[in-house]
Amino acid sequence: MPMYKAPLEDINFVLNDVLNAQTLTQLPGYEDASPDLIQSVLEEAAKLCENELQPLNRTGDEEGCRYENGVVRTPKGFKEAYDKYVEGGWQGLAFDPEYGGQGLPHTIGFVMEELMCSANMAFAMYPGLTHGAMNAIKAHADDELKQQYLPKMASGEWSGTMCLTEPHCGTDLGLIKTKAVPAGDGTYKITGTKIFISAGEHDLTSNIIHLVLAKLPDAPAGTKGISLFLVPKFLPNQDNEPGMRNGVMCGSIEHKMGIHGNATCVMNFDDATGWLVGEPHKGMRAMFTMMNAARLGVGMQGLGIGVVAYQNALAYAKDRLQGRSLSGAKAPEKPADPLIVHPDVRKNLLQAKAFTEGARALGYWVGMMIDMYEKHPDAKVRQEAEDFVALLTPVVKAYFTDMGYEVATNSQQMYGGHGYIREWGMEQFVRDARIAMIYEGANAIQALDLVGRKMPQNMGRLLRRFFHPMQAELEQSLNDPALAEFAGPLYKAFGKLQQATATLAQKGMARPDEAGAASTDYLRIFGLVSLGWMWLKMVKVAHGKLSEGGAERAEFYDGKVKTARFFMEKMLPEVEFRFRSMMSGGRSMMDVAVDQF
């Protein structure tokens, strides 16, 4: 049976030692978010995830959701676990106190997302979708809608969805056909069909608030004609409790590869009453508010699955006896040595360890930057933080989910044939991880976003928010004998990233297909260099702690140094391959005629 243990020691190392998250208490509104308070919150979060959510992960996968005459039943135990989640106030953990939230930093919300996705990704998606809807309503709805809906959603009493995709269009939202007709009383009648709606129907909450993209009768063609509407499952009565059923129904649920405990729904809107969120024809702006939050959340799903897959593979490799070490028996008293003595097993395990620990640092850092651009009193600092988050969003979404899936499959490999058998749990992690590379914008779309939007935005201003501080830290680290072996390879990889950026900018202007052909390799280079930067930061802290003589945790810090060395020597060299592939251009893929495939 699979297990999960919240990695609080590693989490605290990143928050307190690497990122100095205690500085968040200097931001207005976060004065009470002390390290002691955060530690208490995370300990309780660990209990919830380990004791309530993780035991439901396998059973939820096997039972799945049931569709019965338009009603969806979640797996046994999900409702009770969700009630405990609500009772603990977890839904509003990092949300505005004005609407009933706890008001803790977004950074802690990112930690919570990792923990929940490791414990039970399918369950975590229900409150995760609500977060995205809450963010969009807060940013774009009028005060009346905010006051009516956000407190119920922040408490967890009501949940939310994003209804974007339609049967004939996925990413190309300009093709949507869902219509919104003014009813004459300030509301609109919404008609159309949406597909792949995660958590679109379920029995966890008393109401479900759908945010729906639709077009008004006078809408311009394409994405410039999209508006966003709030459409509740039940129309609130005068007491703001669920009243009449609205014209929205779940037509069916998908029978899918993984995340069986989460209902992926076909939603039919038939003259459903809705309210405009934001301005007419400006729905894409509101949509990106929830989409960008969702993309970061999906990135944390990739991290979460990677963490739990690694934990289980590590436990199995330490326990399973198989063969003898190539350099001589390591457990001569036993009939065979444990799997972990073998080099290839160690390579897969260290790749998982290096990715998950590096990604945790990068993901939490992005969370801190969200806190900075929302709360910092200096407008210049806010702008710099917002630029950083915008640049890293496609990287976090795509690189984390690519690697989360890779870690899951490599961890499955550790089990041999047992990894293919359901009772061990590893095959579920592989299946669950696969969707994260697809939804909220498939990873190739993230690469195009990075190359086509983020890279040239404001004459390269977003890139400068990343390149300049990294350059400064690398130059400083190269002069430190203890850090040179880490900073040296990273400095060369960073140079490749800079060269790739310049070449891509030139080629993309002359021939857009060249930029598209190079985009996935470019994003992968960006992800690897970003994690390398995190490992440089972590090894710097670890060396400092070891030099202080912290004998009681010397093994922990020494492990960080060794893992950083593995990353620089065994994972970072992928930059060279990706760079060569990117620089070869797109001719070999674009010159093949369609009928030659």
Residue whose entry in the numeric block shows the structure tokens 């998908």: 254
Q: Which residues contact 377 (CB under 8 A, 6 or more apart)?
A: 28
For 183-235, write each residue's pLDDT tens digit. Answer: 999 999 999 999 999 999 999 999 999 999 999 999 999 889 999 999 999 99
Position 367 pLDDT exceeds 90: yes
How many angstroms separate the CA atoms of 264 and 126, rounded?
Answer: 11
Residues near 20 by Cβ (< 8 Å), separated by ≥ 6? none
The percentage of the chain sitting over the pLDDT mark of 70, rounded to a whole number, equals 99
Q: Given this model, what pLDDT does residue 403 score?
A: 98
Model pLDDT, residue 255: 96
What pLDDT sits at residue 349? 98
Local confidence band at 546 (pLDDT 50, 70, 90 cut-offs): very high
CA distance 387 to 390: 5
389, 369 Cβ separation under 8 angstroms: yes
Q: Which two tokens stand for residue 80?
A: 């009770």
DSSP label at 202? -
Supply 315's token pair. Answer: 């436990």
311 neighbors 409 (Cβ within 8 angstroms): no
How confident is the model over 425-434, as pLDDT tens digits? 999 999 999 9
Residues known to be catalytic: 440
- Provide mean pLDDT across the span 282-290: 87
Indicate the burial class of 464 (C-beta count within 10 angstroms; 0-12, 13-18, 19 or more). middle
What is the residue whose two structure tokens read 């106190």? 97
Provide the token pair at 25. 């208490």
For residue 181, the surrounding DSSP H or E stretch is strand 179-182
Q: State both tokens at 307.
A: 């963490």
**Band (447; pLDDT cuts 50, 70, 90):** very high
Q: Which helix (H) or strand (E) holds 159?
A: strand 158-163
Encoded tokens for 354: 């290096």
For 583, the enclosing helix (H) or strand (E) is: helix 574-583
Integer angstrom CA distances of residue 49 from 11, 146, 298, 308, 567: 15, 30, 18, 12, 29
148 exposure class (CB count in 10 Å sphere: 0-12, 13-18, 19+):
middle
Helix axes 574-583, 512-547, angle to 10 degrees: 160
> Residue 550: CB partners within 8 Å, gap ≥ 6?
557
Other beta carbons less than 10 A from residue 139's beta carbon: 15
Model-level pTM greater than 0.85?
yes
Query: With 80 as the cut, is the pLDDT of residue 160 above it?
Result: yes
Alpha helices in 342-480 (DSSP H): 343-375, 379-414, 426-434, 443-449, 461-478
- Predicted confidence (pLDDT) at residue 300 exceeds the cutoff of 90: yes
**Tens of pLDDT, residues 6-54:** 999 999 999 999 999 999 999 999 999 999 999 999 999 999 999 999 9
Half-sphere exposure of 25 (CA within 13 A, CB side): 12
**Is the Cα torsion angle 101, 136, 263, 301 positive or negative in sign?**
negative
Distance CA(278)–CA(228), nearest Å, equals 7
Cβ count near 17 (within 10 Å)? 18
| pLDDT given for residue 550 in this prediction | 63
Strand 207-214, strand 158-163: pairing:
parallel
pLDDT, mean over the chain: 96
Q: How far is CA 22 from CA 37, 107, 120, 543, in A?
A: 11, 11, 29, 21
User: 209 with 153: CB under 8 angstroms?
Assistant: yes
d(CA 302, CA 117): 8
Q: Residue 186, exposed/middle/buried by CB under 10 A (0-12, 13-18, 19+)?
A: exposed
Closest CA to 526 of 447, 457, 460: 447
Residue 136: φ, ψ to 5°: -70, -40
* Contact assessment for residue 250 and residue 163, using Cβ atoms and an 8 Å cutoff: no
155 band by pLDDT with thresholds 50, 70 and 90: very high
Q: How far apart are CA 137 and CA 108, in angstroms?
A: 21
% the chain with pLDDT above 90: 93
Contact by Cβ (8 Å): 259, 125: yes
